[in-house]
Structure 1
Amino acid sequence: MALLVTCDTGGDRIPETLREPLAHTPFFSDVLHPPQPPAQPARRDRLEIPRLDREAGFAARAIAEAVDCDLIANPYRADLVDVGRSIHHRNLFRPEVRCLPTATRKAILAAVRTPYRDAIRRRLSDLLLRFPYVVHLSIRTFAARTKSGGWQRGDVGLLYDPSRGDELDWCLDLSDELYFAMPDLKVRRNHPGRGTNDSLTKAMRKHFSDVHYLGIEVVLNRAWVARPVRKRREVLRTIGNAIREVTPEATPQAA
């Protein structure tokens, strides 16, 4: 069995090829000088991607290091395009990007979404030529508060397709391992979203339908993962160690 960690949202760069197409748009100045968030932000979807999600990138690197496996991370800003969405999804682009010319939107897809998804597909194909199973962990974060303003009850969400027995069993094993390793860490399955919603892992399940592919989204509450304290590293290291425990036959794949 092999492991692969990916991160859709941890980047903060703009492709050089997009600087000219975006040069004379309001979006470009907003990307370079993002506005400060309001004191009372609007309540939005709990899994909505923030403009900058460096916490997801940090967490993905820490988990991949602890597990000793490959990491493929999108280096570009999540507000350019949601690389996890299917091409016709209504939230593929943010409203300010949807207002841009069609040619500019196509250039964003060509520079950001297509290379990222192609790299993951190639890497999974390569791993599946050498291993009977591959566990693909897509690392993201979610909002600390609900739409109504209350605090989220979970610390870690494991999103999977419950109709796929291997994914269900793997997530159950990981939940148990995390409980024994860190009982205070609240791990919830298919919360705050569902593993069957439109996502990169759902797309990869369709692509690798005839082979042993497990696609799991590991979503982390920004209430704790956004705090650069020693406890954060301890939790991420515990998550990585637990992943290793439930995937004992995984061979290190780090390049």
Structure 2
Amino acid sequence: MTCDIGGDRIPESLRELLVHSGWPAAFPGTASVLSDEDRSRLSPPLIDRDAGFASRMIAEHAGCDLIANPYRADLVDVGRSVHHRHLFRPSIRKLSVQVRKAILAEIRTPYREAVRRQISEMMLQSPYVVHLSVRTFAARAASGQWQRGDVGLLYDPSRRDELDWCLDLSDELYFAMPDLRVRRNHPGRGTNDSLTKAMRKHFHDVHYLGVELVLNRAWAARPVRRRGEVLRSLARAIRDVTPEATQRAA
């Protein structure tokens, strides 16, 4: 299990460079301050702390390994390819090429290498690896419409193993929590630019299953008992549909 955008830290090695470049969030006392937009359940957050919380809870209860990016996603979205338009936020795109290269070298490259290395090690121990990448999505779409779905499973429909695994998980969740609305390849597509897509290319000749587990912020951003119940049910369902996986498999 991975979480790309749940961290809220700034690397010490980059702080001075970012201060000198004029990036506002790098100044003392601003790194942990969130705007109203960041807190909102209605819009995508700059720092997805709720995805970080969810990934930790699911990993703990499912017995999965977790690799979580500890650094702020408004520095760089480590799940995006280097040419993706949303790799950097506008405030970072305004900075010099030197600063952006330093951010990639300090944050994105080590994170993705750690994920690749972990999957490779697990391939030596297990017949297959299921990689879940956790994010949240806005309760309301850009069009203003409410998102119809509580949990999204984003996968490549041309990969039969991913399709079957997601169907099994959907069935398991239906029996465990009939009111939970689970949708496949919604609100995005599993073939869009993402860490799982990159890992599919890298592990194209082995049994690698890459699935994005996306949670609606309408409930995932509410610190109430019901959120914990849903996350624990998700963890149990993930564990139950992955019977051959060891405790190191995620």
> Does the Cα contact within 8 Å between 2:23 and 2:92 map onto a contact in 1?
no
Distance 1:35 1:58, change over 3 A: closer
Letter matched to residue 11 of structure 1: G
TM-score scaled by length of structure 2: 0.93
> Does the Cα contact within 8 Å between 2:122 and 2:248 map onto a contact in 1?
no
Give matches, 1:41-80, under 5 Å.
Answer: 48=44, 50-80=45-75
Q: Provide the residue aligned with 1:236 in structure 2.
A: 231
Distance 1:56 1:113 in 2: 18
* 1:15 maps to which of 11, 14, 19: 11
**Percent of residue pairs bearing the same amino acid type:** 71
Letter matched to residue 19 of structure 1: R
Structure 2: 5+ residue stretches without partners: none
Q: Provide the residue aligned with 1:182 in structure 2.
A: 177
* 1:105 maps to which of 96, 100, 104: 100
Distance 1:143 1:31 in 2: 24
Structure 1: 5+ residue stretches without partners: none
Q: Provide the residue aligned with 2:36 in structure 1.
A: 37
Q: How well do the aligned residues superpose, as a CA RMSD in angstroms?
A: 1.8
* 1:161 maps to which of 156, 160, 175: 156
Q: Provide the residue aligned with 1:120 in structure 2.
A: 115
* 2:168 maps to which of 152, 173, 181: 173
Q: Provide the residue aligned with 2:222 in structure 1.
A: 227
* CA positional deviation for 1:37: 2.5
Q: Provide the residue aligned with 2:134 in structure 1.
A: 139
* 1:83 maps to which of 78, 81, 84: 78
Letter matched to residue 196 of structure 1: T
Q: Provide the residue aligned with 1:94 in structure 2.
A: 89
Distance 1:76 1:38 in 2: 19
Distance 2:7 2:48 in 1: 7
SS in 1 for 2:17: coil
* CA positional deviation for 1:149: 1.7
* CA positional deviation for 1:125: 0.4
Letter matched to residue 237 of structure 1: R
Distance 1:82 1:114 in 2: 11
Distance 1:31 1:93, change over 3 A: farther
TM-score scaled by length of structure 1: 0.91
Distance 1:199 1:82 in 2: 10
Distance 1:131 1:10, change over 3 A: same
1:113-137 Cα shifts (integer Å, max 9, x gaps): 0111000000000001121100000
Number of residue pairs matched?
244
> Does the Cα contact within 8 Å between 2:58 and 2:232 map onto a contact in 1?
yes
